[in-house]
Amino acid sequence: MSDYCYVEVTVSEEDKDIAINTIKDYNEITHNNDGTINIIVYKGDYGLADELQKLANNGVNFVYSHEAGGNYGPCVGACVNGEIVECNADFDGNPVVTFPPTYQISQKEIDICKKYYSTLKKFYNIVKQRRSGGIR
């Protein structure tokens, strides 16, 4: 049984080959001016969870987002050095923290969103350093 949703994965241009060989059923690839590419999948099975884990296991740094599926909501994520950080998102791709009727906001959710932003920043710093020849 499958659960499909729209997924967008961003990797550095240097990691394009390994990424497209891992995410085989992509629909589009777009090139950005910052040294990254977007791999777009219209129907990613379970938000490409298996493929994203394979990328992480192979040392690929990336950021991603996916829409809601049948059993899960939208999310955003980032991976640097094999560690994936994922948090809930609104339908515009912004990280969110649940605000329950009890007003007991989860510190864990806040910490995950902070870690996501920190990892996102690390990803773009690595891309920038690679472009300037500082990291291979």
pLDDT digits (tens, 9 = 90+) for 53-80: 999 999 999 999 999 998 889 999 999 9
Tens of pLDDT, residue by residue over 72-127, are: 899 999 999 999 999 999 989 899 998 888 888 889 999 999 999 999 999 999 99
Reported confidence tier of residue 1, pLDDT bands at 50, 70, 90: low
Those residues whose C-beta lies under 8 Å from the C-beta of residue 116, and which sit 6 or more positions away, are: 76, 77, 78, 85, 86, 87, 95
Instruction: Judge whether residue 17 has pLDDT over 70.
Output: yes
Q: Is the dihedral of CA 136, 128, 74, 81 positive or negative?
A: positive
Query: In angstroms, rounded to a whole number, what is the distance separating the alpha carbons of residues 75 and 87?
Result: 6
CB proximity list for 109: less than 8 A, separation 6 or greater: 87, 88, 97, 98
Tell me how far CA of residue 84 lies from CA of 54, 55, 76, 130, 133, in angstroms: 11, 10, 10, 20, 25
Mean pLDDT (the chain) is: 93
Q: What H or E segment, with its residue span, contains residue 8?
A: strand 4-12
